[in-house]
Chains A and B, each alone.
Chain A
Amino acid sequence: MLRHTAERLLLAIPVLFGVLLLGFVLMQVVPTDPAIVRAGPTATMDIIEAIRRDLGLDQPLWRQFLIYIGKLVQGDLGVSIINNVPVTQELGATIGPTLELMLASLIWAIPLGILMGTIGGYYRGTFLDRAIMAVSVAGVSVPVFFLGLVLIWLLGFQYQIFPFTGRGGPLWTWEGIKAIVLPALTLGGVFVGPVARMTRSSVLDVLGADHVRTARAKGLPERQVVSRHALRNALVPVVTLIGLQIGFLLGGAVVTETVFSWPGIGRLAVGAILSSDLPMAQGTIIVLSLGFIIVNLAVDVLYAVLDPRVRNA
């Protein structure tokens, strides 16, 4: 298992290189010029040309990429070409809030989703099942910005319980917790649906399996049958789904971050890409793809925990 993990980590290096190359090429496709962004709308062409030379944008593309990779190998992520802030500083300042937000939304959404899915699967066809599925279909379908705005209107404006204008502080302070409630509800809200649906269908499959019948025949209490024998086997596809969704959350929380002015990495990435801020965009791409790789690795490890066959293979 350890060797497997190490191999996977080593494999991540060429993957990262490919991602960087792809990111670089895609950035050239974005129809904008960082020199124009920096110079602003009233600048004349000679100033724009001068800024372009300063930034090294008049160099051939392959040389720009090699210079960038060369610096990266030395651990230098560079500085933003728009505002000169070091990329590491910006990344450092945004990863924390993003992880906080992910943690705060997953910590309630995953257990709730699994619980809802299990109940729905167990009481299949009943009113309870229908209600749970209705809620999760709604959760899948409602756009995240709409949920966010409704929560702002209800809990932020109508009852004025929670603030919604950005991060209040670290998660261990009262202000920090209050400020994260609404964004975490919003982001988690769209997470519950898929998890519940996947758990339900997976539990349904497993409940009909032979080993569950055996467990019941052994006279085990129903509670234990469902939680130990059914749910545990049903969790494999759910874990896959959660892994994929977390990767998506890393960069896909942009809308939530925008609605709640949350200082996360998604907004940083989108801003950097839109302004053709290559070092900054590449920095966020590195972090996001690393995050994705790590989450997938964690999912693999979890498979082993859940499935003895994988463990012993």
Chain B
Amino acid sequence: MSLRTALIAGTAALCVGAVPAIAQQKNPLVILRVIDADNYDPIRSTSTAAAEVAYMLADTLVSIDFDMKTIRPLLAESWEISPDGKTYTFKLRKDVKFCDGRPMKAEDVVYSVKRWTNPASRSPVANRAGPLKDVRATDDYTVVYELKEPYSDLLAQLGLSFASIVDKNTVEKLGENFGVQGFNATGPYCWVSWTPRQEVVLKKNPHYTWGPDIYKDPKPQIDQIVWRVIPEQNTLMAAMQAKQADITYYMPYIALDTMQRVPGTQVQQQKNYVYDAFMGFKVDKPVVSDEAIRRAANMAINRDAIAKAVYFGKGTALHSLLNPNVLDFDKKSAELMPKFDPAAAAKLLDDAGWKVGAGGIREKDGKKAAFLVYGLRNAVNPRISEAMQADLRKVGIDMSIQLWDATVGWGKLATQEFDAFLMSYPAVTANEALNLYFRSTQAPTPNRMNWKNESTDSLIAKSTTSTDDATRTQANGAVQRQLTEANVWVPLVSEPMWLVSGDRVEGAKPHGLYGAGLYKGLDIKLKR
């Protein structure tokens, strides 16, 4: 029996061996990623894995250009803002249809916004819609968005996946299962199926002609797209090299140079990508509440070395609180950021009364210069934290590291158990990042620093409610300078977006809005 089995297996292997390579059909376009989303309802999931698919499934009123700053028309062909900055009037395109063929009208936009902001929807991103007073349709193609007070970030936020326009009938039919068992919206691709942890299948929206003008061709070119999950990065790497898939932007950094040498493979970087890694201090915890410790940490950590070693030279060291690509980035605050200088950091600690004690760890008033950092156990955090630990040790600060698996991690990062934490996040404007992470009302999450400062609050409020660019930029700049001087964060690295596409693919260009590397998925063609 065993001999026969072995023979059959052997023969089978030989037969298979005669087939030269795995044959590729013309369709579908296979995109690889490492993690699946919890669900695909744009207002309920904040994961990148949901956003990157949501941008293909659904459209937003406005779109965001490859520069990550310029707001462009999408479902709204034009808009007007009242002089007091409280009323936005959107004129909608008249040719837009949902995947099921029903024409999209103003009431669909009203429904989607109301669903997003309704407390019963439990949307963790509802506050991004701003201080909404009312949203209404004045005719079939005009939407009036009225705010209680001006909200300078509104247009940028309306360009994010959370503000996707969805079909009321499908939402009501599916209820909690919207984005789980089905979907219907006006995106370039339509929902076919979702198998959790495996794949999302999309097909071309046959009606779609209204793609944003940042693309050459407003119509989708691919009949079917499969977003496939490959949880193991080494497998993903081998799958791209063996041409078992077409596109990925989750390639391990170490493999990018190798991929560049594979014939026919294109490796492109999105230079304007905003996804920043940083370490934040809980400013009300002992030791890290001392500004000298925080400043010394900012001076002792060699972020250039981290960008080079951990990201294999593919990341960019971040020498400012916020990413230089975000709107209202403040150059002056970048200059205030202390330069890498371990000797100066040691001197600063000496002057602040932190004297070197036993084992080379500094002490002050009987307290050791030690703190605990929490973070997610992802591909880069172990090495980033170890590098930081070594750097800090050189100036006499003892950092202990505790990394958690992703799902447990967010629960842990909501506690008060740690003194500092590692995180990375996307943003489109400086105002958005500041609003989200530094307002006192945002503590304990997402303001995990417990940074409660009246001047910060009032400056952010001022920039958020400003109606002219100069006031907004000025106020945002002032907050950035204040936070930089207080060393609330240790900015580390600007994570890179590298799009790898195989030899079947033509026209793919990395976008990267909120981590969504392909954004609408337009202009992409398959050669075979």
Contact = CB atoms under 8 A, between A and B. Distances in A.
**Chains A and B bind each other:** yes
Interface of A: 30-33, 36-45, 47-48, 50-51, 54, 82-85, 90, 93, 107-108, 111-112, 114-115, 145, 149, 152-153, 156-157, 159-166, 177-178, 181, 258-261, 263, 267-268, 271, 274-276
Nearest to A110: B2
Q: Give the one of A45, A47, A90, A261 with max B CB within 10 A.
A: A261
B411 A261 contact: no
B365 interface: no
Closest A-B pairs by Cβ, 3 of them:
A111-B2, A40-B46, A43-B124
Interface string B422-449: 0101000000000010000110111000
Contacts of B3: 115
B424 to A, nearest CB: 10
A274 B180 contact: no
Contacts of A161: 13, 16-17, 19
Contact of B16 (A50, A145, A162): A162
Interface in B24-44: 32, 38-39, 44
A259 B239 CA distance: 11
Contacts of A90: 196
Contacts of A263: 195, 197-198
B380 interface: no
B238 interface: yes
Contacts of A85: 180-181, 196
Contact of A108 (B9, B228, B405): B9
Contact of B230 (A42, A107, A261, A276): A261
B38 A42 contact: no
18 contacts: A47-B126, A48-B445, A82-B38, A83-B180, A85-B181, A85-B196, A108-B5, A112-B2, A114-B2, A156-B239, A160-B22, A161-B19, A163-B22, A165-B32, A258-B231, A259-B232, A261-B231, A274-B406
B414 to A, nearest CB: 6
A156 B46 contact: no
B195 A274 contact: no
B238 A261 contact: no
Contacts of A268: 197
Nearest to B21: A160
Contacts of B127: 44
A178 B436 CA distance: 49
B49 to A, nearest CB: 11
A43 B127 CA distance: 10
A37 B197 contact: no
A181 to B, nearest CB: 7
A143 B16 CA distance: 27
B412 interface: yes
B228 A40 contact: no
A150 to B, nearest CB: 11
A159 B17 contact: yes
Interface residues of B, number: 67
A209 B13 CA distance: 41
B173 to A, nearest CB: 14
Contact of A33 (B45, B119, B411): B411
A36 B9 contact: no
A258 B229 CA distance: 10
A164 B244 contact: yes
Nearest to B3: A115
B245 interface: yes
B241 interface: yes
A269 B423 CA distance: 27
Contacts of B46: 39-43
A147 to B, nearest CB: 13
Contacts of A267: 197, 231
Contact of A178 (B16, B47, B181): B16
B256 interface: no
A259 B411 CA distance: 27
A39 B16 contact: no
Contact of A165 (B47, B180, B235): B235
Contacts of B32: 165
Contacts of B232: 145, 258-259, 261
A37 B122 contact: no
A36 B411 contact: yes
Given A111-B1, A163-B22, A166-B228, 15 more contacts: A31-B411, A32-B410, A33-B411, A37-B38, A41-B423, A41-B446, A45-B444, A112-B6, A145-B232, A160-B22, A164-B244, A165-B32, A165-B230, A178-B22, A263-B197
Contacts of B406: 274
B47 A40 contact: yes
B198 A261 contact: yes
B381 to A, nearest CB: 14
A140 to B, nearest CB: 20
B445 A43 contact: yes
B124 A39 contact: yes
B38 A44 contact: no
B358 interface: no
A5 to B, nearest CB: 26
B44 to A, nearest CB: 8
Contact of B235 (A39, A115, A152, A159): A152
B217 interface: no
A102 to B, nearest CB: 16
Contacts of A157: 238, 241-242
Nearest to B412: A31
B39 A30 contact: no
A43 B44 CA distance: 10
A153 B235 CA distance: 9
A30 B245 contact: no
B234 interface: yes
Contacts of A153: 238
A160 B228 CA distance: 20
A98 B20 CA distance: 29
Q: Give the one of B2, B13, B407, B425 with max A CB within 10 A.
A: B407
Nearest to A42: B446
A36 B407 CA distance: 9
